[in-house]
Amino acid sequence: MRFSEILGHTKELNILKGAITGGRVAHAYLFAGPDGIGKRQAAFALATALNCREFREDACGQCPDCEKAGRSVHPNINEVWPTIKAKGRTKDTEDGADEPREALEKAERPEDGLIRIPQIREILGFLKLRIDHGRKVVIIDAADRLMSAAANAFLKTLEEPPDASVIILVTAHPGLLPATVLSRCQRINFSPLQDSTVAAYLTAGQGVGRAEAIEAAGLSQGSISRAISLACGGAVERRGSVLERLGAVPMGDAFKAMQMAEELAKMDGLEEALEFIKGWYRQTATENEIAEGQSGNGAFRRIWTSYRAVDEALYDITPPRYANRQITMEAMMLKIAGLAR
């Protein structure tokens, strides 16, 4: 991965390139921003650049180090991902003196797993290794999934990592990280991508038609992964279905509101459905504000109240909170129907 392969984020990438050329690379970084906008790719581009012997404002992309980094087999680059405990499996300790430990396996989704103390021990061992060139780079994906005990075990290393090493924490939820971790990292905030950038990628890189690409980009909130799901995974149709059913709930109708709440609570893709609804309210609020020239009119207030209700519900049902789905959806729909505040 090279800096030139990353979409957008010109300012953020220039900061990283300048740090390398100026010899000012931090010992620990926090890459923060919404999911699917390129933070992880930026982390790998930095790791590749730090190990490319031909670096000239970017990794060359052709040397043996770049080739290994591109295949995710570079010995100086270590990626950490949330894990789950593997059912029915154990892992023997190195000396065999202790009891076997539960084996870990990579979680399908970061929110399903945790970053645990055994993974931190492996990181510490990796960082102690000697290398003949470049930097040892640890990329911790979904760093907000660090267990508190694991985060505490990592603090000293974050503050004073071994020589020739860089640690990069990547997260969409920096507020969930302990302040002690945040204070030890140089933070770089990555913003959502421009709709035009996302649409151009969909048409050129995914073969999506222009009209569909523009629609998906507008709903993606600047996330490439969300845009691909919308354009290529049938999400546009699912969104239309959800919004059509929501639109059939009249203001002040408690019965219809409770019906919709029950339907939403039973959905397998509830988080996606709430993102659709939230995005629609955001877009409608913006259009209404522009049309009216002010944000104080009654229509805008109703839309904004509904947006906030959906945003709060989405926050409550997602890890690590796991609020009761039925109760959360009922409270949300009562606010949307104007029956509660």
Segments making up each domain of the chain, as ranges:
3-189, 193-233, 246-336
114 phi, psi to nearest 5 deg? -140, 155
Distance between CA atoms of residues 293 and 217, nearest Å: 25
In the prediction, which pLDDT does 218 show? 80
pLDDT of 213-268, one tens digit each? 888 888 788 888 888 888 877 777 888 899 999 999 999 999 999 999 999 999 98
In the prediction, which pLDDT does 334 show? 96
In the prediction, which pLDDT does 285 show? 79
Q: 136-140 and 165-171: which strand pairing? A: parallel
In the prediction, which pLDDT does 100 show? 54
Q: 101-106 and 83-91: which strand pairing? A: antiparallel
Per the prediction, the chain carries an average pLDDT of 88
In the prediction, which pLDDT does 210 show? 85
Cα three-residue angle 66-71-76, rounded to 5 degrees: 60
Distance between CA atoms of residues 165 and 125, nearest Å: 12
Residue ranges for the chain with pLDDT beneath 70: 88-102, 287-297
Q: What is the CATH number of domain 3-189?
A: 3.40.50.300
